[in-house]
Amino acid sequence: MHTKSLKELSRLLQAKQISSTELAKLYLDRIAGSDLNAFIDINADLTLQQAAAADQRLAAGDTTPLTGIPIAHKDIFVTRGWRSTAGSKMLANYVSPFDATVVEQFHAAGMVTLGKLNCDEFAMGSSNENSYFGPVKNPWDKAAVPGGSSGGSAATIAARLAPAATATDTGGSIRQPASFCGVTGIKPTYGRVSRFGMIAFASSLDQGGPMAQSAEDCALLLNAMAGFDPRDSTSLEPGKGGDKEDFGRDLDKSLQGLRIGVPREYFGKGLASDVEQAVRAALAEYEKLGATLVDISLPKTELSIPVYYVIAPAEASSNLSRFDGVRYGHRAKEYKDLGDMYRKSRAEGFGDEVKRRILVGAYVLSHGYYDAYYLQAQKIRRLIAQDFSNAFQQCDVIMGPVAPTVAWDLGDKADDPVANYLADIFTLSTSLAGLPGMSIPCGFGQGEKNGKRPVGLQVIGNYFDEARLLNVAHQYQLATDWHLRKPEGVN
C-alpha cells in the first residue's frame, strides 16, 4: 500500500477498500521502525483523530482527491498540536497556537498529518547536518547526506514513510534534496504558495512546495497548496498568478516540438562525470519524446553564489532578530541584565551556521557597506533574472543538473561551509529570479565511495509555467522508471 501513488490511494479510499485510519496506522508503524531521523515530532493520537475525521468525510461523500491521504510537514511550517521548531534549539519546545496556511489548506482538503520533518536549522543548509536534532540519513546510503534544507522531507518520501510531504526552497532546498534522495519536488513561482505561518529565513526567496514520488502526485498537492492568501503580503493576487488552477491539466500533452534550453554554463568545470552522464541520457530521452535541444547561455550563473550569500543572510539577520528570549523560544537560565539575556539566549539558541549568516547579514546591511554589498547584489539579481528572460525567448523550458555531484558523505563538508554553498550553484539563480523549478529522478551516480546515489534532472520554467513543468516531468516519468526505484532495504 505504501508504494502506491496519491491517485491510487485516493481511488482505494473512495471505493472504501481501505480506510484513512488503516492507512495512517500503516505509515505510523513504518515511521516507528525507521532509523533515518527524518521526523522531529510525532503525535499518533492526533494523527488518528484526523484520520477518523477523514473517514467520516469519506463516508458522507464530502471529499477531495486528497481526503484521507497522509502527509508530513517540514518543520518550518507551524502546526497546531505538534512542535514547530525550525530544526533549532531556539524553538525546540515551541507549539504553535495556529496552523500555517499551507497546513490549513491540506487539512481542509482532508489530508492527515503524520508529523513534523527534520530540516536544517531555520532552513539554512545544503545537507541537513545543521539541525539541532541531528542529521537525517539518506535512505539510498545511510552514510550520505540527504541534501538540505528539506532533507527530512526527501528522505521520508524515498523511504516510503509518507506518500506526500511539504518542503521549502530558498536557494534550492526542494530541488537539491529531491535530487539526492531520488524523489520528485517542485518549487513554484515565488508568491504562488503562501508564506503565512512559514518560519522565515529570507523573505524574498522562501517558497513552499510539495515533494512526492511523481510529477502527477506533485500536481495534486500543488492544487491544494497554491493560491492567494491575504495574510501574506508576498502572495500573488488573483489575476496576477494567485488564482486557483488545475496544475495537472496538461499532464497528458505530447512533448512534440518542445524546445529545451541547455545552458552551457551548467556543463562546465566542476560537474561530476557521473552526474553529467545521467543528465545527458535524460536529455536524449526527451529527444526521443519529440523535444529539441537548444544551446543557450546563462552568463551570470557564477555570480548567483555571491549574490545569494549577501541577500539571504541580510534578510535572515532581520527575520531572526525576533528570537530574543523574551516572548517565546529559548531563554538563558542565568543572566545579569536584559542585554546579557539577549546575548546568552541567542548564543545558546542558535547553531553555528545560523550565527554565521546573521553575522554576514548584519555586516552587509551596516552603515558603509550597504551600498557596496547589499545594493550591488540586488542589481546583479536583476541581471540574473534578465538572463532567464533572454533564454526563454529561445526555448520553452531549461534543463540541466540539480547539483554538481551526487550526495556526499555525512561529515565530509561539515567544516567547510563554502564547499556546502558551492553545491547550490545550479539552483540559486532560479530562486533569485523567482522562477519555478523542479527536480525529477533521472539515474544514479557512483559517488566518492562507489555507492549507488541518485541524480536529479532540473527543469526550470518561465513564471507561472508550473503546469508545463509538470507535463514535461510526467511524460518523462511515463517513459522511464527512475522515480519508481526504491532504496535497498525499503520494502
> Cα(32)–Cα(122) distance, rounded to whole angstroms?
25
- What are the residues whose beta carbons fall under 8 Å from the beta carbon of 68, sequence distance 6 or more? 9, 10, 13, 19, 20, 23, 51, 54, 55, 57, 58, 110, 111, 112
Nearest to 283 by CA among 260, 313, 264, 306: 260
How many C-beta atoms surround the C-beta of residue 343 within 10 A?
15
Verify whether residue 137 is a known catalytic residue: no
The end-to-end CA distance of the chain, in Å, is 11
Q: Check if the beta carbon of residue 122 is closer than 8 Å to that of residue 316.
A: yes
> Cα(193)–Cα(196) distance, rounded to whole angstroms?
9
Catalytic residue among 126, 127, 149, 153: 149
Catalytic residue among 20, 74, 150, 304: 74
Verify whether residue 431 is a known catalytic residue: no
- What are the residues whose beta carbons fall under 8 Å from the beta carbon of 297, sequence distance 6 or more? 263, 264, 265, 387, 391
> Cα(446)–Cα(454) distance, rounded to whole angstroms?
9
Q: Check if the beta carbon of residue 292 is closer than 8 Å to that of residue 418.
A: no
Verify whether residue 254 is a known catalytic residue: no
Catalytic residue among 173, 179, 304, 317: 173
> Cα(345)–Cα(98) distance, rounded to whole angstroms?
25
Order of strands, sheet of 39-41, starting from the edge strand that comes earlier in the sequence: 39-41, 112-117, 70-74, 165-169, 207-212, 184-187, 437-445, 453-460, 397-401, 259-263, 292-296
Q: So which residues are the catalytic ones?
A: 74, 149, 173
